[in-house]
Amino acid sequence: MQLSVVILAAGQGKRMNSDLPKVLQPLAGEPLLKHVISAARALNPNDIYVVYGHGGAQVQAALAQEPVEWVLQADQLGTGHAVMQAMCLIPDDHAVLVLYGDVPLISAASLAKLIAAAGENALAILSVNLDEARGYGRIVRNADGQVVAIVEHKDASPEQLEIREVNSGLMAAPAGPLREWLLGLGRDNTQREYFLTDVVAGAARTGTRIEAIRAANALEVAGVNDKIQLSAVEAGYRRLRAEELMLAGATLADPTRIEIRGDVQVGRDVFIDINAVLIGNVHLGAGVKVGPNCVISNSQIGEGTELFANCVIDRAIIAQNCCIGPFARLRPGTVMHREVHIGNFVEVKNTEIGAGSKANHLTYLGDSFLGKKVNVGAGSITCNYDGVNKWPTFIEDGAFIGSGTMMVAPVRIGAGSNTGAGSTIVSNTPNDKLTFARSQQTTKEHWKRPVKLNEEEKAAIVAKKTQKPKD
């Protein structure tokens, strides 16, 4: 059977106390709704319909790249009414899966079971057992254990409030019968809304089989209505992702203090210290060590490489057995070959560094090409920007850059050459030679160290030196 997915995302989310629509609240750096769309896409449906309302322009703009169809719910008349808005676009021979934009951790595996349970003739709902069921609709079964209704918390009797099996709101059904059940909904409830859950009673009246499939855990169906619930879901997501990394072979110093905001792949015996943040597509080769407080974004790090504390790695490719940091920043376009050393307070941008090269202290390398076994001394800078254009610097194999060298690009430093400390290099240097550029050193014989002045003396000097010239 072909599949259409309907995601309800029209709610305002007043309890969020935020100008951002509820479904755009961030979970692991991505909107709640994007997580739900990703779960739906994993099922390879024919279509995904997102029913939007409050903050619709914001929602559509934020997720403009997602392959979904947008359906407006102009009047907020309940979840049943929201599904009705999409049903006119769905053929009768499709199965319909209904998801919620504020239930972000649902797994594709549980959804596949739900769809399979619905088949061609049944209504399948996803349930979960909760110790604290306040606010959830209770699943009511008859003496034979068959589901006959779902009663909202506000409308439940004292006996029904004792039921611990609750409705997650997620369901699957054949499109034709679902359309009929929706048309039969009424608003005879305390909120005067069309509740999607009431289709269960409609299905029961027609003798349709109702299947309640229990979710693997409560976290999968946890909804987000305020910042406290958002925090709880974030913690649950963090735990799930940390467990994935540990099962793949990583050791985490503290699984509760790691942020994973993307697709992270790890090799065997990776070690990740506390407070690491991994964003986007990140690959850590076998034996990689990540020190505390590192941020790694969309980067590849080769086997045996070690990142010391407080490094920021963004869209970089790092080969095997390199040493980075502490307090190093690798910006987009950085490519490092084997056994490169980048030390404390070194920044690298759009630069390729050959095997065995080093820049261990207080250096900036931008738009550069370093050969093998280059040594860049402390405080050296490639002056790559003239205020309008970026220019390259080429440092060939075996060159030694003296401390405090300013290399004014475009320029080439020859193979095996040295630059003298404190030099400003503006022209190409020959191979295997020492090149330096310094002004003549001068000593002032009668110079005296300045003395501390009082405020009146300072003011007099300032006034004298800053007075406007006479016309």
Helices within 9-161 (DSSP H only):
32-41, 56-62, 79-87, 108-118
Q: How far is CA 330 from the centre of its chain?
A: 19
pLDDT at 214 over 90: no
Cα–Cα distance for residue pair 21/379, rounded to 1 Å: 48
Lowest average pLDDT, out of 27-31, 389-393, 442-446, goes to 442-446
User: What pLDDT, in 10s, does the model give residues 333-378?
Assistant: 999 999 999 999 999 999 999 999 999 999 999 999 999 999 999 9
Percent of the chain with pLDDT over 90: 71
Q: Does 386 or 120 have the greater pLDDT score?
A: 386
Domain ranges of the chain: 2-221, 241-435
- pTM, two decimal places: 0.84
Residue 113: count other Cβ atoms within 10 Å of its Cβ. Answer: 18
Phi-psi domain of 339 (left: phi exceeds 0; alpha: psi -120 through 50; beta: other): left
Q: Does 154 or 269 have the greater pLDDT score?
A: 269
User: What pLDDT, in 10s, does the model give residues 273-302?
Assistant: 999 999 999 999 999 999 999 999 999 999
Mean pLDDT calculated for residue range 52-67 = 91
Per-residue confidence at 468, pLDDT binned at 50, 70, 90?
A: low
Lowest average pLDDT, out of 5-14, 144-153, 219-228, goes to 144-153
The reply to whether 361 belongs to the active site is yes
Percent of the chain with pLDDT over 70: 100
In terms of C-beta density within 10 A (0-12 exposed, 13-18 middle, 19 or more buried), how is residue 458 classed? exposed
Q: Does 92 or 447 have the greater pLDDT score?
A: 92
Residue whose pair of structure tokens reads 């359906």 in the numeric block: 71
Q: What pLDDT is stored for residue 54 in this prediction?
A: 82
Range 241-435: architecture per CATH: 3 Solenoid (2.160)
User: 362 and 389 in contact (C-beta within 8 Å)?
Assistant: no
Mean pLDDT calculated for residue range 185-212 = 85
Catalytic residue among 35, 94, 361, 446: 361
| Pair type for strands 209-214 and 258-261 | unpaired
Cα–Cα distance for residue pair 164/203, rounded to 1 Å: 22
In terms of C-beta density within 10 A (0-12 exposed, 13-18 middle, 19 or more buried), how is residue 171 classed? buried
pLDDT at 270 over 70: yes
Per-residue confidence at 471, pLDDT binned at 50, 70, 90?
A: low
Cα–Cα distance for residue pair 318/164, rounded to 1 Å: 52
Mean pLDDT calculated for residue range 195-204 = 86
| Closest listed residue to residue 166, CA positions, set 182, 150, 181 | 150
Q: What pLDDT is stored for residue 147 in this prediction?
A: 81
Q: Tokens for 456, please give them.
A: 């009146």
| Complete edge-to-edge strand list for the sheet that includes strand 276-279 | 258-261, 276-279, 295-297, 312-314, 329-330, 347-349, 364-366, 381-383, 406-408, 424-425
SS3 content of the chain, % helix, strand, coil (to 5): 20, 30, 45
CA distances (Å), 194 to each of 198, 249, 327, in order?
Answer: 8, 49, 57
Q: Which residues of 213-238 are buried (b: 16+ CB within 10 A; e: fewer)?
A: bebeebbbbbbbebeebbeebbebbb
Q: What pLDDT is stored for residue 56 in this prediction?
A: 86
DSSP line for 100-125: ETT-TT--HHHHHHHHHHHTTTEEEE
pLDDT at 18 over 80: yes
Residue whose pair of structure tokens reads 């409308």 in the numeric block: 155
Average confidence score pLDDT of the chain: 92
Q: Does 356 or 460 have the greater pLDDT score?
A: 356
Per-residue confidence at 173, pLDDT binned at 50, 70, 90?
A: very high
The CATH number of 2-221, from 3.40.50.2300, 3.40.50.150, 3.40.50.360, 3.90.550.10, is: 3.90.550.10
Mean pLDDT calculated for residue range 120-140 = 85
Estimate the crossing angle of helix 32-41 against helix 108-118, to 10 degrees.
Answer: 60
Residue whose pair of structure tokens reads 């997102």 in the numeric block: 50
pLDDT at 38 over 80: yes
Cα–Cα distance for residue pair 287/80, rounded to 1 Å: 52
